[in-house]
Structure 1
């Protein structure tokens, strides 16, 4: 039986009642589960949660006020952002904005079914929105309950929908765990290769092997659909690695003479960043055309393999040294004179041809690892994206019951 025929049979001629979410769920305020201190450590046992993108903020040694979700799973719902997570392990809570959502009766409505349905709802948030959503909004939303007059059949349909979506979720989780392991392996191997232990190498400062060229200012008002190709500093740390000609920004052509450019082979470095880690991130520019750079960026001009330099700038050793030369404040800013003192390895320093050949060999190896762990066009990230899209498709298909016109979700 095909998947579509199976779903048609599962959902065919199913009577549906649309009930307010508040009729089938109950919520609990987090007050007695809030963590008292932020003395987090990986050595402690109990995770501290937020409903945002970073689910686990850290681990606490507090033993009182723990929510025992390992016994009774729960949905945590952020009242301000409407972000929600399925939690089946014990935890404490960081934010008072979080609510714990449970089913009023698992004999009528499965909590996991409610969770999957919640994630079919489109976001209604707007910029600057900072109001609470559960009581005034979400409890009034209508959730479809199949076969309301036959609880046994209703639970069977809910359970089968949950089983199918759990399978997709588990597959994605396995792939994500595999990707995490591969990234760790890649980072270890990259750092090992670029330490050159027991091999012929000389460590030189960036200032010894090249020069830094600061960009010229342009603003959002200068952006144009058809203009001069440009790299904005913020794009560097969202596209870490190498650019081959594809860009995110273009600025007005009439500014061409007042801008500064990175040439093919330059490494473009972010001079500021949202975090200390973002500052100093670099991309190798290997496109054919010169590209304009913002004045919070630098083009590092040198005679080495540009991708070799960008990989060297990703190692733990380099990042540790670079962090000493970041001015911390409202804006984290790279101190370029200090950056010029950070060292990178030069293989076979007495033989330029042999050195470049070794750099190219290392780049080829790391490119393969990078594609496996970071590329959305190949490797594990692409497969994970496909599985997430497949999951979302079937989730929406399974939970898109016929809806009367008078029902507003």
Structure 2
């Protein structure tokens, strides 16, 4: 007999409606035109913050005045929240701090003598598809009546706590893996930002151990060190092995001609303008993305890639509705250029970080996916009770 079977052996379960064992209510939104209602000390969560997670902080805050002059109510710590409308409808989460919420959220404060809040969360999250399909209307919205009538199995508190302890092990491990992935990414971004900063490059220029010291940064523009080229449609080309790139990257299209066959940086013209690419292989690019013919006597192509990846390209956008770049704007982009030897050193360091990050992104997401599936399997086993 497995540990799970042993845990649930002879366990008596009573099915109850959620409204019988918890206090369910919706939140509210203070008048958005009254400034004194916002940026206070009271956390105020919205449905977009709910994603099968333990919510540790809110994105927005309201004042006591805003709380008192709206239908918003405080949710006690250790409660479950459930999105009732919008893109996240049916998703649930846990709040372990006192907070308010808007009207698109149902707060569920369980009777702790009957239902462990974390057990309740795990059960509700396991029924996501079922709950979502209970939604009504064009927006697939839930209401408090639907939520209060949800039936949940209630074993003893001791069994609930054992189930929570078992499932917490899986979710905590997934959380740790996700945190590790974020930490590696932030570490790379920190060193990239530092190494490419004007302050750091000037500091290097005064170090006598580097190129004898005394060199100065050259202030140049993108137009002085590259030629920015437009892309073209690929549909008239024949099939081949040359990848086609758009603003989102490779398009899963391969043709028999290339636009360019030397190291280059691709810069989107429309859409995701901060989504730059470094390419060394022959390629074809469509008209939503530029390629660059780089003067490698002045700047190392990979250095240019790191510089542009680090730059806030949104500042150069000519369209507030759909991010857009033009050649004339890009040509004026200011670059502080150190000597080639320094560029090489910086590229060498950042390449190592990129390699470590690539390994992390290759391994950790697979491990996270595996652990997530393992968690869902055991959650299903632990929360399946006969009526």
TM-score normalized by structure 2?
0.75
The aligned residue for residue 361 of structure 1 is 348
| CA positional deviation for 1:356 | 6.2
- Unaligned 5+ residue runs, structure 2? 206-216
Query: For 2:154, what is the secondary structure of its paired residue?
Result: strand
Aligned counterpart for 1:209 among listed residues 194, 203, 225: 225
The aligned residue for residue 314 of structure 2 is 323
| CA positional deviation for 1:262 | 5.3
Q: List aligned pairs for 1:214-253, cutoff 5 A.
A: 214-217=230-233, 229-233=243-247, 235-236=248-249, 247-250=250-253
Q: List aligned pairs for 1:126-205, cutoff 5 A.
A: 129-135=138-144, 137-146=146-155, 154-195=156-197, 196-200=201-205, 201-205=217-221
CA contact (8 A) 1:193 1:362 kept: no
Aligned counterpart for 1:311 among listed residues 306, 309, 319: 306
CA contact (8 A) 2:230 2:287 kept: yes
Q: Distance in 2 between matches of 1:58 and 1:5?
A: 46
Q: 1:365 to 1:53 in 2, by over 3 A?
A: same
The aligned residue for residue 300 of structure 1 is 292
Q: Distance in 2 between matches of 1:42 and 1:26?
A: 27
Q: Distance in 2 between matches of 1:141 and 1:263?
A: 61
Q: CA RMSD in A?
A: 3.7
Matched, 1:87 2:95: yes
Aligned counterpart for 1:284 among listed residues 278, 281, 285: 278
Matched, 1:339 2:330: yes
- Write the deviation string for residues 266-314 of structure 1: whole angstroms up to 9, x where unpaired: 21222223xxxx423301124x4x3333322111232354443222123
Query: For 2:291, what is the secondary structure of its paired residue?
Result: strand
Q: 1:293 to 1:143 in 2, by over 3 A?
A: farther
Aligned counterpart for 1:45 among listed residues 21, 41, 62: 41
| CA positional deviation for 1:388 | 3.5
The aligned residue for residue 7 of structure 1 is 4
Q: Distance in 1 between matches of 2:302 and 2:78?
A: 47
| CA positional deviation for 1:10 | 0.5
Q: 1:136 to 1:387 in 2, by over 3 A?
A: same
| CA positional deviation for 1:119 | 1.4
Query: For 2:126, what is the secondary structure of its paired residue?
Result: coil
| CA positional deviation for 1:16 | 4.0
| CA positional deviation for 1:226 | 9.7
Q: 1:382 to 1:205 in 2, by over 3 A?
A: farther
Q: Distance in 1 between matches of 2:9 and 2:260?
A: 61
CA contact (8 A) 1:40 1:58 kept: no
| CA positional deviation for 1:115 | 0.9
Q: Distance in 1 between matches of 2:2 and 2:154?
A: 22
The aligned residue for residue 400 of structure 1 is 384
Query: For 1:272, what is the secondary structure of its paired residue?
Result: coil
Q: Distance in 1 between matches of 2:37 and 2:368?
A: 30
TM-score normalized by structure 1?
0.71
Q: List aligned pairs for 1:104-119, cutoff 5 A.
A: 105-119=111-125
- Write the deviation string for residues 344-399 of structure 1: whole angstroms up to 9, x where unpaired: 343324xxxx4664354133233145337xx4313x55554454444333323322
Q: How many residues align?
A: 350
Q: Distance in 2 between matches of 1:67 and 1:82?
A: 21
Matched, 1:121 2:124: no
The aligned residue for residue 209 of structure 2 is none
| CA positional deviation for 1:203 | 3.8
Q: Distance in 1 between matches of 2:74 and 2:46?
A: 16
